């Protein structure tokens, strides 16, 4: 049938042993065509680990695997942080010496994805989330190219099999490292997404958002920086907190099988590669936009107008109340997260933290099988704790378990329409009981358990 495009969000404790495999499955999903892999440092669902700030964000089409990653050491007399990008792995976890603790690739299995370590160490398993994209009518393109090193310079990227007039989502990751599969001191990382709508004949509209974050290696105190940009898919902040280069999607062609990105802000380093995962979602609709976090109430149904009932919603989370402004020298700068929700039992939040102005560094990360779990920069206080409630015609509703904000914080979202979505006013996928393990959505983990 037309519009057969599926998304699933599955989490498990990733086995860190050498050559180990961990399976992420959803019954009836079918064959995955691509995935996004999120990996932190948390060994316990819902308990912040004050060991380091760590997050890996990667893409795979099961032929190629790309990712960016960072580590920001906790309890260090001086800031000790590193980043790495790879065109051979879709997940990497770094230790404090910038050495790889685990890295791996993705492959398809029945109704899911298998992650296989190509390097690993016998440390405690850590939680990963796999966002699986599938369906007979989904087309994907995973690319890596060196972007133009000149400000306002363009680079053409290839796709294949995309249909004129269909909505597209293009995810990006990038970091300010010129060499592939090698680490660099300091953190200058970014993650973003672009919604492409229109046609060759009528022209295209591009709506794009991104998170950028930085940490200053060898500084005498914690120095996080972050930004939520509304005009670019990547934004690099320098270690000193200044605006570095960015990336904007500026053109698309269905007949030419290309899309164009333009380097913004400043010129990037020569040979700088970035990675992108593009999805053509057939006759399904997508949307990207800004949204304000809640400051009160028992539920959150944001005032967005999707125009469709979603099957999947992602959020880029910050604790800033100003878009497009680099945050520094306050508690807002070191709070970031990514929320992924595909319905009841398919909700995860990965967040990472760096406390500002601490003489001994105070960093952490958190995995939670909730729609949102965002803490303050030293993780002592929960700012937002939400559970999935429903996907509705035009938006979504999350239950607020706790909330502690007086000013609405700036987030961005990306959403994909449900297959066979009901008419307006008929919500779907409503939570029916919240009993763990009763929805059939998750199985796997290294022990093959279901829950």
| Lowest model confidence (mean pLDDT) among 2-16, 114-128, 149-163, 335-349 | 114-128
| Lowest model confidence (mean pLDDT) among 27-41, 328-342, 424-438 | 424-438
- Domain limits at 257? 6-433
Question: Does residue 356 or residue 86 have the better pLDDT?
Answer: 86
The pLDDT of residue 366 is: 94
The pLDDT of residue 97 is: 87
Question: Does residue 119 or residue 51 have the better pLDDT?
Answer: 119
Domain contains 40: yes
The pLDDT of residue 413 is: 98
Half-sphere exposure of 291 (CA within 13 A, CB side): 23
The pLDDT of residue 436 is: 34
Is residue 192 scored above 60 in pLDDT? Answer: yes
Domain contains 46: yes
- Residues 6 or more apart whose CB falls under 8 angstroms from that of 288 comprise 169, 193, 194, 195, 207, 208, 209, 412, 413, 414, 415
Region 305-331 average pLDDT: 92
Helix (H, G, I), strand (E, B) or coil at 5: coil
Statement: the pTM of the whole predicted model exceeds 0.85:
yes
Domain contains 11: yes
Helix (H, G, I), strand (E, B) or coil at 420: coil
Burial class (CB in 10 A: 0-12, 13-18, 19+), 432: exposed
Region 390-413 average pLDDT: 96
Neighbours of 90 (CB within 10 A): 29
The pLDDT of residue 440 is: 33
Q: How far apart are CA 60 and CA 415, in angstroms?
A: 20
- Residue 346 belongs to what H/E stretch? none
Q: How far apart are CA 407 and CA 404, in angstroms?
A: 9
Q: What are the start-end ranges of the H helices in 327-442?
A: none
Tokens of residue 11, six digits: 């989490």
The pLDDT of residue 439 is: 34
The pLDDT of residue 171 is: 98
Q: How far apart are CA 442 and CA 10, in angstroms?
A: 6
Are 386 and 399 in contact by the 8 Å Cβ rule? The answer is yes
Are 241 and 356 in contact by the 8 Å Cβ rule? The answer is no
pLDDT in tens, 348-358: 999 999 998 88
Q: What is the mean pLDDT of the chain?
A: 90
User: Which segment, 41-50, 115-124, 347-356, is predicted with the most confidence on average?
Assistant: 347-356
The pLDDT of residue 449 is: 31
Is residue 294 scored above 60 in pLDDT? Answer: yes
Domain contains 217: yes
β-pair type (203-215, 347-354): unpaired
Are 277 and 59 in contact by the 8 Å Cβ rule? The answer is yes
Question: Does residue 47 or residue 317 have the better pLDDT?
Answer: 317
- Residues 6 or more apart whose CB falls under 8 angstroms from that of 232 comprise 192, 208, 210, 246, 247, 248, 264
Domain contains 442: no
Eight-class DSSP state of 361: -
Domain contains 451: no
The pLDDT of residue 174 is: 97
The pLDDT of residue 328 is: 82
Domain count, the chain: 1
The pLDDT of residue 222 is: 87
Question: Which residue has tokens 């609405």?
Answer: 408
Burial class (CB in 10 A: 0-12, 13-18, 19+), 275: buried
Region 77-93 average pLDDT: 95
Eight-class DSSP state of 334: G
Question: Does residue 259 or residue 98 have the better pLDDT?
Answer: 259
Region 309-321 average pLDDT: 97
Is residue 158 scored above 50 in pLDDT? Answer: yes
Question: Does residue 46 or residue 15 have the better pLDDT?
Answer: 15
Domain contains 141: yes
Tokens of residue 112, six digits: 């899911």
Share of the chain above pLDDT 70, in %: 92
Is residue 243 scored above 50 in pLDDT? Answer: yes
Is residue 190 scored above 70 in pLDDT? Answer: yes
Are 321 and 34 in contact by the 8 Å Cβ rule? The answer is no
Domain contains 441: no
Q: How far apart are CA 303 and CA 323, in angstroms?
A: 17
Region 414-437 average pLDDT: 53
């Amino acid at each position: 049938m037309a519009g057969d495009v599926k998304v699933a969000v599955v989490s498990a404790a990733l086995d860190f042993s050498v050559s180990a495999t961990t399976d992420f499955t959803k019954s009836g999903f079918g064959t995955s065509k691509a995935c996004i892999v999120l990996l932190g440092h948390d060994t316990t669902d819902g308990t912040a680990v004050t060991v380091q700030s760590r997050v890996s964000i990667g893409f795979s089409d099961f032929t190629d695997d790309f990712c960016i990653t960072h580590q920001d050491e906790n309890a260090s007399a001086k800031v000790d942080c590193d980043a790495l990008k790879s065109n051979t792995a879709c997940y990497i976890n770094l230790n404090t010496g910038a050495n790889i603790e685990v890295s791996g690739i993705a492959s398809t299995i029945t109704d899911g994805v298998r992650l296989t370590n190509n390097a690993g160490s016998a440390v405690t398993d850590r939680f990963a989330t796999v966002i699986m994209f599938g369906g007979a009518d989904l087309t994907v393109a995973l690319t890596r190219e060196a972007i133009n090193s000149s400000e306002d310079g363009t680079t053409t990227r290839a796709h294949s099999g995309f249909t004129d007039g269909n909505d597209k989502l293009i995810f990006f990751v990038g970091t300010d490292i010129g060499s592939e599969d090698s680490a660099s001191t300091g953190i200058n990382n970014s993650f973003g997404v672009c919604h492409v709508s229109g046609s060759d004949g009528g022209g295209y509209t591009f709506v794009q958002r991104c998170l950028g974050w930085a940490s200053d290696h060898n500084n005498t105190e914690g120095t996080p920086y972050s930004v939520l940009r509304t005009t670019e898919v990547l934004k690099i902040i320098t270690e000193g907190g200044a605006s570095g280069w960015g990336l904007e999607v500026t053109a698309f062609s269905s007949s030419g099988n290309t899309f164009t990105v333009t380097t913004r802000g400043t010129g990037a380093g020569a040979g700088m590669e970035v990675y992108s995962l593009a999805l053509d979602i057939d006759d399904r609709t997508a949307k990207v936009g800004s949204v304000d976090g809640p400051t009160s109430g028992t539920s959150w149904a944001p005032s967005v107008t999707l125009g469709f009932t979603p099957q999947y919603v992602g959020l880029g989370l910050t604790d800033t109340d100003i878009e497009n402004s680099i945050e520094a020298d306050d508690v807002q700068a070191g709070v970031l997260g990514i929320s992924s929700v595909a319905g009841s039992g398919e909700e995860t939040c990965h967040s990472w933290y760096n406390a500002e102005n601490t003489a001994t560094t105070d960093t952490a990360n958190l995995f939670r099988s909730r729609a949102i779990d965002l803490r303050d920069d030293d993780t002592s206080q929960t700012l937002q704790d939400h559970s999935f409630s429903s996907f509705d015609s035009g938006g979504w509703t999350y239950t607020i378990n706790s909330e502690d904000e007086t000013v609405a914080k700036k987030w961005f979202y990306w959403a994909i329409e449900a297959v066979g979505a009901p008419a307006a006013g008929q919500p779907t996928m409503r939570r029916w009981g919240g009993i763990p393990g009763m929805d059939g959505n998750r199985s796997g983990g290294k022990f093959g358990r279901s829950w």
